[in-house]
Amino acid sequence: MRTRKHFPFLISLALVLGIAATTEASEMNKETTLDARQKAIVTIAAFTTTGDTARLKPALNEGLDAGLTVNEVKEVLVQMYAYAGFPRSLGGIWTFMGVMDERKAKGIEDEMGKEASPLPADFNRDAYGARVRADLSGLKEVPKEDAPYQKFAPIIDTYLKEHLFADIFARDVLTRQERELATIACLASLGRAEGPLGFHMGAAMNTGLSKGQMHDFVKVLDAEVGKDEADSAGKVLAKVLEARK
């Protein structure tokens, strides 16, 4: 039987357990959700891909307000040309220029952020790109045997290694994880790109995005981009997660 003298102890215990539970929930939340900057990368990449400048404009503002630097936003927009094409990338850049003019007129001073670090004179783009692709694939070693598409069209393999995974990925304005997040947002919005989307979803997880964060990515698509895009991405993600078991 509990007496009144036990009440202070029980209250203290409840408070301690409550604080512990809140802390644990907070830590779990960090592991299972994307933060505001990451969500902004998703929407910026998605609306640049679809050419939806009406929705891209607020997404750009939200990204800057969430802490993305001007150069980080530029980098997402530039990278989109590799997946969505120059017209979409340039359209996004023009939209961003307009957003920056409006923010300056309102007296908003956004952080420019760092520029890309210079590459060494002896930078081996082929070797670097091959290593990056292997890392994103989750491989410890660069494959010695070419894939069928590499044998069929060797020049596309050169472009992938030397340009996409070297020229672009070597620019340290964004992390590999941020680049992969932008890529899967682009591919999910592009449509009919389930194969590349599956590869890059796996790559995104190989850069450190958790299973929960990947599910949250689909939720962001559903809430901000479109149900069809989210449903399609969710199906691809389910296959990726099953294959990773």
Whole-number pLDDT of residue 31: 74
Distance CA 228, CA 167 (A): 33
Distance CA 102, CA 96 (A): 10
| 219 close to 230: Cβ distance less than 8 angstroms | yes
What number of other Cβ atoms are within 10 A of residue 117's Cβ? 10
Task: Please enumerate in sequence order all residues whose Cβ is within 8 A of that of 9, keeping only pairs 6 or more positions apart, or say none.
Answer: none
| 100 close to 131: Cβ distance less than 8 angstroms | no
Domains of the chain: 34-116+175-243 (1.20.1290.10), 121-170 (no CATH)
pTM value?
A: 0.87
Whole-number pLDDT of residue 21: 46
Whole-number pLDDT of residue 17: 46
The gap from C-alpha 204 to its chain's centroid, in whole angstroms, comes to 7
| 60 close to 101: Cβ distance less than 8 angstroms | no
* pLDDT tens sequence for the chain (245 residues): 555 555 554 445 444 445 444 444 444 445 789 999 999 999 999 999 999 999 999 999 999 999 999 999 999 999 999 999 999 999 999 999 999 999 999 999 999 999 999 999 999 999 999 999 999 999 999 999 999 999 999 999 999 999 999 999 999 999 999 999 999 999 999 999 999 999 999 999 999 999 999 999 999 999 999 999 999 999 999 999 999 99
Distance CA 177, CA 25 (A): 24
Whole-number pLDDT of residue 1: 52
Whole-number pLDDT of residue 6: 53
Distance CA 31, CA 20 (A): 17
Residue 34: C-alpha distances to residues 52, 100, 172, 174, 203 (Å): 23, 25, 21, 16, 16
148's tokens: 């069928």
Task: Please enumerate in sequence order all residues whose Cβ is within 8 A of that of 3, keeping only pairs 6 or more positions apart, or say none.
Answer: none
